[in-house]
A and B are shown apart, each in its own frame.
Chain A
Amino acid sequence: DVKVTQSSRYLVKRTGEKVFLECVQDMDHENMFWYRQDPGLGLRLIYFSYDVKMKEKGDIPEGYSVSREKKERFSLILESASTNQTSMYLCASSSLDRATDTQYFGPGTRLTVL
């Protein structure tokens, strides 16, 4: 069974802290994605990666960075957390070989920045 896991379901941080959100997939997928989900705004793409050490900006990359050192792991980094980054963060992965394939999502991390 396919699986995308995220390191935390809930996270509370203080303004200015550096925050790491981890995502791991066990499907050998090439593509990985980070979204944030806010009420009324749907899912907005922050960054995605199509290979190890490769990354592309999504629609709202400001205030975020990413790291992909291994194929199965894609990390989202908030260099200096701010209250407007309080949100639900969703990670997803998909296969490159089958370009029409499904994106598989993790359960999400609800981040609160105080």
Chain B
Amino acid sequence: AQSVTQLDSQVPVFEEAPVELRCNYSSSVSVYLFWYVQYPNQGLQLLLKYLSGSTLVKSINGFEAEFNKSQTSFHLRKPSVHISDTAEYFCAVKNRGSTLGRLYFGRGTQLTVWP
């Protein structure tokens, strides 16, 4: 079975500051890794994902995450945040060998960016 731990439930930061949202996972099999974002009053949308290849993956809006197999982590980072990045962020894993597409989610991290 897979499990995901998001170490911080709330992360407040000031605008233009750097941020890191931490994610660790536990799995007995190889996994794919995902970060989803949920803006207020909306559903979740994919932010970025790691499937294979380069362990550093990037989103179109400046976020990046690095897969660290030895530490079983997939932390999300942004060097300079904007007010519009305020949202809840979910880390998720999926069993590589599964075709069913089931994701296992962490409990989420609420990122609040203050002016």
Contact = CB atoms under 8 A, between A and B. Distances in A.
Given A40-B107, A41-B107, A43-B90, A103 B101 contact: yes
Interface residues of B, number: 26
B101 A101 contact: yes
The B interface, classified by DSSP as helix, strand, loop or mixed, is loop
Interface string B68-112: 000000000000000000000010001010111111011110000
A107 B107 contact: no
25 contacts: A4-B43, A33-B102, A41-B107, A42-B6, A42-B108, A43-B90, A43-B108, A45-B102, A50-B100, A90-B43, A90-B44, A96-B99, A96-B101, A99-B99, A99-B101, A100-B49, A103-B44, A103-B101, A103-B103, A105-B36, A105-B45, A106-B43, A107-B42, A107-B43, A108-B42
Given A100-B51, A107-B42, 11 more contacts: A40-B9, A42-B108, A50-B101, A92-B44, A95-B101, A96-B100, A99-B101, A101-B101, A102-B34, A103-B44, A103-B101
